[in-house]
Each structure stands twice: as C-alpha cells, then as structure tokens.
Amino acid sequence: MTVIVGEMLHAELGAVLQHINLGVLLLDEQCRVSYWNDFMAVNSGKDSDEVLGQSLFEVFPELPRLWLQKKIDGVFALKNLAFTSWQQRPHLFNFCGSRPITGQVERMFQNCTFCPVIDASGTMKYVCLTIADATETAAQQLELERLNELLQAEKDEQSRLIHKLEDAQAQLLQSEKMAAIGQLAAGVAHEINNPVGYVYSNFSSLESYVGDLFSLIDTFQLASQQQDAAFRGQIEQATQALDYEFLRSDMAALVRESRQGLERVKQIVQDLRDFSHIDSGDWQLADLHKGLDSTLNVIWNEIKFKAEVVKHYGELPSVQCLGSQLNQVFMNLIINAAHAIDKQGTIWLETGTQGDWVFVRVRDSGSGIAPEHLSRLFEPFFTTKPVGQGTGLGLSVSYSIIAKHQGRLEVESLPGQGAAFTVWLPVRQAPADPPAPSPAG
C-alpha cells in the first residue's frame, strides 16, 4: 500500500492524523522527523517542537539503530510496505504499558508499519512509521501461554502419576501371582507329603521283608543239597527258568534305586514347602542358604542342562526376613542368569557378611548387559527377551522386595562378560523405617 500525498493534507485529515490513537511519524532518508502526532508526543513525553527536524536516533538514542536504519533503507529502496509485530520486536519505542490497572505489563507492546510516502510526481521523500499499541492482545496471549504451560505441566504430572500407578498395579499383580503360585505349591506339597510318607515307611519294611525272603530261599537251597538228585534237578531247573541269580541282584538294585527316588520326592516336597514358607507369612529369622538351596531345587529343571552351579557359601547369621519373598528374588536372579547363558556356562552363588549386613550374589558367565540397559533393568516391563518369553517384571518385583527389607540390589556387568546381581540385606530390620545405611567396609 502506498500513500500519495498532494501538496497539502486536508485540514480535517490532518486533525484526524494528529489525534488518532496510533503513533504516526514521517521520516526522511536520513531518519529526520518531519511529522510527529499526539500519540507519539504523549507516550514519549517529547513534543513535536523537540523532535521535528531532528534525527530520530539523536532524540531516542535507545532505539535499535542498525535494525531500524536497515528497515527504513529497505522501504526507500523497494518502495514497499514493511511490518513488524510485537512477537518479533515487542517494544520498538520504550513507552509505558497501557494496562496500569493490572500492573502486569510494564512496557507497551507495539505493532509497527513502515509505509513509503510518494508524492504526485512519483518521488519518495518519506517513510511513514505507524506504531499501534498491541499491549491488550499481547498481554492476553502471554497469559494464555502461561496458562497453557501450567496446564501442560499438570498434564505431564498426571501422566507420570498414571504411569506410576500402572507400574505399581503390575508389580502388585506379579507379587500376588507369585504368592498364589507359592500357596499352590505348598498345598500340593502338603498333599503329596502324606502318601509319600507312608509309601516311604512301607518301603523300608518291604526292603527288610525282601531280605528275609532271600535268606529263606538261601536256606531252602542249602537244604535241597541234602535231597536226592531228582529233587535237586527240579530246583535247579526252576532256578534257571526264572533266572534267579539276575532276579536276586536286580531286585536289590531296584529296591535301592526306588528308595533313592522316594528320597528325592521327599526332598522336593520339603523344598517346595521351604520355598513357599507357607507356614509363616510374617517376618522371621531364616537361614538364607536353606532358602537358596530349596529355590535351586525347585527351579533345577530350568538350569540343569545349561549351567553348572558353583556354590561359595560363607558363614551367614540368621537373617530377619520374609523368607518366601526372598526366595522369589533368588528365583528371579537364578533364572535370569540361566537365560543369559546361551549354551553352556556357570552360575556362581556367593554369600557372605560385611558388618551388620549379609550379601547373596548370583553371578553368571552369560551374555552380560549392554551399558545402555543397565539403568533400565529395574523398570517394570523392561525386557530384552522376545515377546511371550519375558514380562520384564522379575527384577522390578525383586527390587521392591529388597527395598521392603531395607536392603539394596546391585548389578555389575559388561557385555560378553557375564553379570553379577548382589542382594544386600541388613541382618536385623530397623524398628521404624529409617534410610538403609551403606554396608560397612
């Protein structure tokens, strides 16, 4: 848009321009002021007689000279309208805010236009600079932005809380599931315990009866030597037909192996009972080695083909703990170790004490853990296992159980060099809930 100005403005038009609620000033190519309306005079505190004919930069040294000069030069060169909004340059002139009541805005936000002024002969002598007060809009927009930021922060906080809630719920479900499995195992173990008990005791009787029967047969055989040849032949034939010698030796082996099998069943039942600690859901003094061994037996099937288990047990005092829950932790750590071993490897179980603390370390010769995964291991649902193979809850549940014991769960690992998870537990629980001290040493 260009404005063509005749020799003189109409007086009416001049009056409008003088009083309009908009800053209007004319600048020549050297930025000398040729027109200055009331808006400019009121807001700058400088009357037109102080400003007219003067260089704008001398009267207002605080103006951004380089930028403004370039803008005006551009309009003279191109004879085109230019514009800057308050978002780009909030305050060109340092005018006071027009919202004194709220007191929130100290300086006036301004929208500026630079308009080429061309006379009838086509010569451009001036740039008309208009300054519009945009404080109202700017204040509203800034307030909106502030509220938006607040809302966004609140939204972020809410989704963080929802996430935390989901994690807690998942952990609770997993704990409940494990507790239910423990109860089931203990129930089954209890049911099996009785029949196995009487089979085992009958078996001892059976073993001694079989021995008695064989010694009776020996006596008969010896007595048959005294009999005539026909009788002896009959006995010999029967002995050979039944393969008596094999039967006798195999019977002993059968009885021995069956007894061992029964002992194994008894041990498994006992381990299941120990593992689930069903009799005591409360804090108790427990032998952690016993817990480790029974856990190992319960999950033996998962590891026996992959790993040799080497135990380096130190001397451990009884530890005040929730036994079945600690066994869950040992189970998660040992199964993870077995999973980390590709074909064949070793799992070391190490225990010991340091001051008033005990530790149980599960170390493996498996694949190790990538450094970028180390900090995420205890997050619920973090897993590197294929879908359907790992839920990613084992370590997060273990972490919560150890935290409940005022202990710590530490991990050390390098890719390709195995991993070591160490459970640190205080021997006795502090009465209240003080922060866990570091282990001595």
Ligand X SMILES: Nc1ncnc2c1ncn2[C@@H]1O[C@H](COP(=O)(O)OP(=O)(O)OP(=O)(O)O)[C@@H](O)[C@H]1O
Beta 23-27 vs 33-36: how paired, if at all? antiparallel
The reply on whether position 398 binds Mg ion by CB under 5 A is no
Residue with smaller CB distance to ligand X, 81 or 411: 411
Query: Closest by alpha carbon to 352, among 315, 398, 322?
Result: 315
Residue with smaller CB distance to ligand X, 337 or 349: 337
The reply on whether position 328 binds Mg ion by CB under 5 A is no
The reply on whether position 380 binds Mg ion by CB under 5 A is no
Q: Which stretch binds Mg ion (CB under 5 A): 3-11, 147-155, 237-245, 333-341?
A: 333-341
Binding site for ligand X (CB under 6 A): 332, 336-337, 340, 364, 366-369, 377, 382-385, 390-396, 419
Q: Which does 392 bind (CB under 5 to 8 A by kind): Mg ion, ligand X, none?
A: ligand X
Q: Which does 340 bind (CB under 5 to 8 A by kind): Mg ion, ligand X, none?
A: ligand X
Q: How far apart, in whole angstroms, are the C-alpha atoms of residue 348 and residue 337?
A: 10
Query: Closest by alpha carbon to 136, among 89, 102, 94?
Result: 102
Q: Which does 133 bind (CB under 5 to 8 A by kind): ligand X, Mg ion, none?
A: none
Residue with smaller CB distance to ligand X, 214 or 382: 382
The DSSP result for 409-437, as a single string, is EEEEE-TTS-EEEEEEEESS--SS-PPPP
Please state the closest distance from residue 338 (CB atom) to ligand X, in A: 9
Sign, Cα dihedral of 37, 79, 7, 50: positive
Q: Which does 325 bind (CB under 5 to 8 A by kind): Mg ion, ligand X, none?
A: none
Which of 182, 323, 394, 426 is close enough to bind Mg ion by CB under 5 A?
394
Please state the closest distance from residue 250 (CB atom) to ligand X, in A: 45
Angle, helix 244-276 to helix 323-340, in steps of 10 degrees = 120
Is 95 in contact with 44 (CB distance < 8 Å)?
yes
The reply on whether position 295 binds Mg ion by CB under 5 A is no
Is 418 in contact with 427 (CB distance < 8 Å)?
no
Residue with smaller CB distance to Mg ion, 35 or 421: 421
The reply on whether position 366 binds Mg ion by CB under 5 A is no
Residue with smaller CB distance to ligand X, 252 or 420: 420
Q: How far apart, in whole angstroms, are the C-alpha atoms of residue 135 and residue 100?
A: 11
Q: How far apart, in whole angstroms, are the C-alpha atoms of residue 175 and residue 404?
A: 13
DSSP assignment letter at 227: S
Residues near Mg ion, by CB under 5 A:
336, 394
